Amino acid sequence: MRTFSRADLDAVAHKLNRRPRKNDDYRTPAEVYADLLSSGGELTT
């Protein structure tokens, strides 16, 4: 891991976190999190 800079790892994390997920009805993690916050923070399955 020392081969990669913090900026490199942050860029990879940013790409992965903006990718829609099939098991979340093709919403991004940010969209799922926003819905979680707006619903009072309760997790639903």
Report whether 17 contacts 29 (CB < 8 A).
yes
The segments of the chain whose pLDDT lies below 70 read 1, 42-45
Per-residue pLDDT, 44: 64
pLDDT attached to residue 30: 87
d(CA 30, CA 17): 7
pLDDT at 11: 97
Q: Please tell me the predicted confidence (pLDDT) of residue 10.
A: 96
| Model pLDDT, residue 4 | 94
Which pTM does this prediction carry? Answer: 0.60
